[in-house]
Amino acid sequence: MDKSVLLQYFDSLSNKEIRDLGHFVRSPYFNRREKVVKLFDYLVEYRHLPEGAISKEKAWKFIFGQQAYDDREMRYTMSFLLKVIRQFLIQNELEKDTAQAQVVLCRALQRHKLGKLLEKELRHSIEEQQKQALRHSLYHLHNYQLEMVRVEHITQQTRTGDIPLQALFDELNFFYIAEMLRQSSIILTHQTVSKRDYNLRLQDSVIEHLEQHDYTQVPAIAIYYHSYKALSDSTVESHFVQLKALIEEHWSSFPAKESRDFYLLAINYCIQKLNQGERSYIREAFELYKSGLENGLFLENGILSSFTYTNVSRLGLALEEWEWVQEFLKRYHPTLKANDRDNIYRYNMAFFYFQQSEYDHAMEYLIQLDHLNDVFQNLDARRMMLRIYYEQGAVSPLLSLLDSFKVYISRHKDIGYHKTNYLNLIRFVRQMLNSNLSSGKVREALISKVEQTSSVAEKTWLISQLKKRSTG
């Protein structure tokens, strides 16, 4: 039973959802099978047991007692409970999405031909829509759905009266354009990583339309228009400037997840510019992260991703914002995922001290690392240790590290060009240890080799070390 769809659904539920599901499964409207209730009770009682402890046979005994096991009956019971859980999740989502629930209610009133009640409910729903703060694309979709019900109702009453088709078309237009721009912006970001081409068939027509008409009154369209334009042509910086201003003005008018996406789209533009060598965008990206953090947008259910945690600290350190970064690392340490929290904190604190050449403090954190889940962070931690051991003249631990570093690289086949870069770094450090660097000719020969090697990690550092008159 461990890998059944039923348990996958059940194990995903929070404690509160389990309690609510208990009431739901006992409601005669949703379930009239006592065996389904007993199966639910069994799963609740034994849900914390280790993998493999829950089985269909044990569940059968809990439900049916000494009755002979019937796999077909057991599968039916599991299927019925799964159906109830699905209904429960649908109901939960509808309760959260009050706007969509109102659309469903209006549809029901229309189907029951309750014209007067429908008109009253439509007026109420449209008024509530106008009052709400959110102005994301779904706001326009819900408006469109309500206008559709209204148009259908009026059409059923009269063929010659005033039918509000313009409002219907406007809301559909707003939703379609906003979503088209949103998905196109996401695709542009994805393309830079995946190198995959997408056919955005109608995108040019949408952009042409927007450049001929004013949609500044629709925040969702305005934001995604400038994000798309900025990401599609990073040379025109005015779109990035407009995007930042719109985010600052409208971020609170969107769900937190979507507002976070705005910030990430703007940050991805900064990354494009950084890749083009424009160092001023380190500050731009850093300030965007700071703003998003201050607005509480980078925390999901109270958790900050280790990726964001590391990115923010790296940007801050590149700007030598030492005090701010140290405070940030300590403040957000408790918000990291519990299973890797301390390791990620130690790794970032090690880098914090490493960047300031405070190698003893950096090493204190590096030697405490257990095992970082991210292979590239593992490589980076070893890189820092290599440099520290070499610069401190700790030859014995350095030799041991070089051996383990090479083994680690050989075990990871999916690190791309990093494999060559780090293997060359290890090779050159070994040559430096085995060479008489007090000889100017030896040093010059090694410097020439490093310079002529296109793929080598820490090339600048290697050359700076070789230019010293001795290893001491």
79-109 residue pLDDT tens: 999 999 999 999 999 999 999 999 999 999 9
**What integer pLDDT is reported at residue 156 of this predicted model?**
87
Whole-number percent of the chain with pLDDT over 70: 97
| C-alpha angle 25-29-33 in degrees, rounded to nearest 5 | 55
| C-alpha angle 182-187-193 in degrees, rounded to nearest 5 | 140
pLDDT at 444 over 50: yes
Q: How far apart are CA 65 and CA 73, in angstroms?
A: 14
pLDDT at 471 over 50: no
Domains of the chain: 5-96 (no CATH), 98-163 (no CATH), 177-394 (1.25.40), 395-472 (no CATH)
Maximum CA extent, the chain: 99
DSSP string covering 249-306, please? HHGGGS-HHHHHHHHHHHHHHHHHHHHTT-TTHHHHHHHHHHHHHHTT-SEETTEE-H
Q: How confident is the model at residue 408 (pLDDT cuts 50, 70, 90)?
A: very high
210-239 residue pLDDT tens: 999 999 999 999 999 999 999 999 999 999
Q: How far apart are CA 128 and CA 326, in angstroms?
A: 45
Measuring CA to CA, how many Å separate 424 from each of 189, 344, 380, 463? 32, 27, 15, 13
130-176 residue pLDDT tens: 999 999 999 999 999 999 999 999 998 876 668 889 999 999 999 99
**What integer pLDDT is reported at residue 194 of this predicted model?**
64
What does the pLDDT average to over 277-286? 97
What does the pLDDT average to over 37-57? 88
What are residue 291's phi and psi, to 5 degrees?
Answer: -60, -45
What does the pLDDT average to over 112-125? 95
296-309 residue pLDDT tens: 999 998 999 999 99
What are the structure tokens assigned to 314, written together?
């790296």
What does the pLDDT average to over 198-212? 87
